[in-house]
Structure 1
Amino acid sequence: MINSEIEKAFFKTELPVKWGEMDAAQHVNNVNYLRWAESGRIGFYEKLGTIDLDFKAVGIILAWQDCKYIFPVTYPDTVTITFDVIELHKDRIIGECKIYSNHHNRIAAVSKSSVMAYDFKALKKAAIPESWKDSIVKIYGDSILK
């Protein structure tokens, strides 16, 4: 079941768990899950290829992020990170990142995030460009439009 969930995701990547990511509680420190989610989110937008990540024109900024911790990851392990868009609004994109423990073959965390379109020249929020919308709708269909 885990493999079929991973295969359905538009973006997926694997990262090794590092010894230094563990804390005194003998599991990966919570902040690392947010870093892994960031890797998934940025990896998704790089793969999508239509969003400017050089921060010179209209790009993305993180508006909020949460994380539901389900299972404690420990070293040694490798995590698989998936990221998909779940809602597309006129001014923001809501995404969902899932983090899986490969060693335990189970989900370890789910992180949702909202990114806003931001005009880095004008220093203000922007509408989602049509090229972004078209690329995302091509992958997920119209059902994600809100």
Structure 2
Amino acid sequence: MSDTPLKDFPVVVTFPVHWGDMDAYGHVNNVRSFTWFESARIAYMVRVGLVGPSAAGADKTVGGGIGPILANTHADYVRPVVFPANLVVGARVTRVGTSSITFEHVVAGADDGVVYTRGGSIVVTLRYATHEKVPVPQAIRAAIEQLEGRSAGG
């Protein structure tokens, strides 16, 4: 992917456009971008151990149960997606705060690299039992830095 708009995205997921994804205007309904963002974001969080069976907070008992919750998402639509198409959707982390992780997303054509949508999202680490924000676990921070190819301080 070195020549694509997703070359700096460590997690990339591929999707075919389905006929049923289109709306009455003859292009893919814009809400699909959020589903694609979500799938790439979840794939990223699985890779760093924030969700999935090996997640740091997989134990849902008292004292465990730490995981992500979506706080914000947005999209900038660059051009409409039409059937047929194969897409690649990237996720990368641009910032890790005290209790939040900021993602950047891009949707592009798998064959030609044409950018269709850019966007982002913020997830907050939450203790589900009490609904309180908690700091992003150090192991998750380290896994993000390693996946992103950055040193643990910058």
Structure 1 residue runs of 5 or longer lacking an equivalent are: none
- 1:125 is matched with 133
Quote the residue 2:55 is aligned against: none
1:9-24 to 2 correspondence within 5 Å? 9-24=9-24
Identity of aligned residues (%): 24
Question: What's the TM-score once normalised by structure 1's chain length?
Answer: 0.88
- Greater share of residues in helix: 1
Q: Contact 1:63–1:113 (CA<8 Å) still a contact in 2?
A: yes
Report how many residues are paired.
144
Deviates more, 1:54-63 or 1:112-121: 54-63
2: CA distance, partners of 1:117 / 1:83: 18
Q: How far is 1:65 from its partner?
A: 0.1
Cα gap change, 1:107 to 1:46, in 2 (>3 Å): same
Cα 1:38–1:133 change in 2 (3 A) is same
Q: Distance between the aligned counterparts of 2:71 and 2:102, measured in 1? A: 10
CA RMSD of aligned residues (A): 2.1
The runs of 5 or more residues in structure 2 that have no matched partner are: 53-57
Judged with a 3 Å threshold, the aligned counterparts in structure 2 of structure 1 residues 70 and 2 are, in CA distance, closer, same or farther, namely: farther
Could you list the structure 1 runs, at least 4 aligned residues long, displaced by more than 3 angstroms after superposition.
Answer: 1-5, 52-55, 142-145
- The TM-score, its normalising length taken from structure 2, stands at 0.84
